[in-house]
Amino acid sequence: MRFDLKVAFGEEIAAMSFEALDAMQAQAMAEAQGYTVLAIREGSVRAGFSSFNRNKFNLMLFSQELLALLDSGLSLVESVEGLAEKEHNEESRMVLRQVMTGLYEGLPLSGAMERSPTVFPPLYVAMIRASERTGDMVHALGRYVNYQSQIDAVRKKIVTASIYPVLLIVVGGLVMLFLLGYVVPRFSTIYESSGANLPWMSRMLLSWGQLMQQNSSEVMLVFVLTVVGGVYVATRSAVRRAVADWLWGLPVFGETLRIYQLARFYRTLGMLLRGGIPLVSGIRMVSPLLQPLLRQHLTLVEQDVREGKPLSLSMEQHALTTPIALRMLRVGERTGRMGEMMERIGMFYDDEIARAVDWFTRLLEPLLMVVIGLVIGVVVTLMYMPIFELAGSVQ
């Protein structure tokens, strides 16, 4: 359950949100991070649209700026102080000042970040902690920035490829609404007054026009309620899980989703291994990135690795690899460069996913245009069919 809190940090006041079982747990989480809770209430309906309420702290930008300052020779405390002083966003400044407070208390950077789990994810904290042991925080931040840049590049390709199909669907839907909500009702009035004998399909279409004329407000109310209900249902986790399971069952699309998740899994685990995190710990950390079924398989892989089995063999047995990935994993085991090999696997399959997305959009766009054109053409033909018949009878 989501709770909205009004908190104070020193003389500054801000609003925060936490996922907790009850209000007491949410308050305890905020106080553990050094905040003073002023007010707390249960999250509103907007919490269902969590993707629009994400934390404003830009972790990628923070990593890039911290990397630049550390690489230029500044100490860790000076770097964080500089970032806090130049920050204009109130919430981000509070996060940075909380990190500074942890550093002043003698905590390592990873310990200070752990006080803000909603801002710094466990994977990021683990990477920083491993770099503190090895003394190469600059290289660790560089790997994270490179990793996140490549992940964002793949995500942007997918989003960019989906813009035109979505635009086609929206425009086609608006044209259909205009025809069915404005044009058809006026044609129904003309044909009704003429008393002509209309074809069955035309009569059905014009009946809709008469319904729109007589009950336009009720029809619009039902339409709006249907849209709002559809959006609400789409935000439910159970519905999204059912849709995801259905997509995973599709022959080609499901395999592409599997490759996408495996690519992200390999790239993330490779980054952790190169940062000095043990294999078993890294597997446990990246487990949430996978779909539930693959996550169960990964649990079996973790048990096999604990028992001393080679990672490549266990991954092959539990269907978490591909022929190319399996060969590269074996090379990584022989050469001791498993982290590097996993990152290369992720890069290889990122390129394959980009090609699959490009092929899918090239196929989907003309199909959408044909379908939308056919539907609009059928509606227009049914409207004008009585006129065609009248013209034929006159001739």
CA separation for the pair 147, 136 (Å, rounded)? 17
Neighbours of 181 (CB within 10 A): 16
At residue 386, the pLDDT reads: 65
CA distances from 166 to 101, 170, 258, 377 (A): 47, 6, 23, 20
Q: Which residues contact 370 (CB under 8 A, 6 or more apart)?
A: none
At residue 11, the pLDDT reads: 63
Residue of 276, 297, 320 lying closest to 135 (CA atoms): 276
Domains, the chain, ordered by start? 2-52 (3.10.20), 59-149 (1.20.81.30), 152-395 (1.20.81.30)
Our CA angle for 237, 45, 167, nearest 5°, is 65
Element (H, E) at 318: none
Handedness of CA 180, 186, 192, 194 (dihedral sign): negative
At residue 271, the pLDDT reads: 83
pLDDT in tens, the chain (395 residues): 567 777 776 666 777 776 665 677 677 777 766 777 777 877 644 433 333 344 578 888 888 898 888 888 888 889 888 888 888 887 788 888 888 888 888 889 988 888 887 788 888 888 888 888 777 788 888 888 888 887 788 778 778 877 888 888 888 888 877 877 777 777 766 666 655 566 676 677 777 777 776 777 787 788 889 888 888 887 777 777 787 777 777 777 778 888 888 888 888 888 888 878 888 888 888 888 788 888 888 999 999 999 888 999 999 998 888 888 899 999 998 998 888 898 888 888 888 887 887 788 788 888 888 888 888 887 777 777 766 665 555 55
Provide the terminal-to-terminal Cα distance of the chain, rounded to the nearest Å. 72
At residue 387, the pLDDT reads: 66
At residue 393, the pLDDT reads: 52
φ/ψ of residue 8, rounded to 5: -125, 140
At residue 291, the pLDDT reads: 82
**What are the helix and strand counts (H, E) for the chain?**
17, 3
* Residue 29 and residue 18 in contact, taking contact as beta carbons nearer than 8 Å: yes
CA separation for the pair 110, 183 (Å, rounded)? 64
Neighbours of 106 (CB within 10 A): 8
At residue 46, the pLDDT reads: 40
| Residue 22 per-residue DSSP state | S
76 exposed, middle or buried (CB, 10 Å; 0-12, 13-18, 19+)? middle
248 exposed, middle or buried (CB, 10 Å; 0-12, 13-18, 19+)? middle
**Tell me: the pLDDT tens digits for 128-141?**
888 887 777 888 88
At residue 198, the pLDDT reads: 64
Query: SS3 for 190-236, per residue?
Result: HHHHHCCCCCHHHHHHHHHHHHHHHCHHHHHHHHHHHHHHHHHHHCC
Q: Which residues contact 336 (CB under 8 A, 6 or more apart)?
A: none
pTM of the model: 0.62
CA distances from 239 to 80, 96, 244, 272, 298 (A): 42, 37, 9, 33, 25
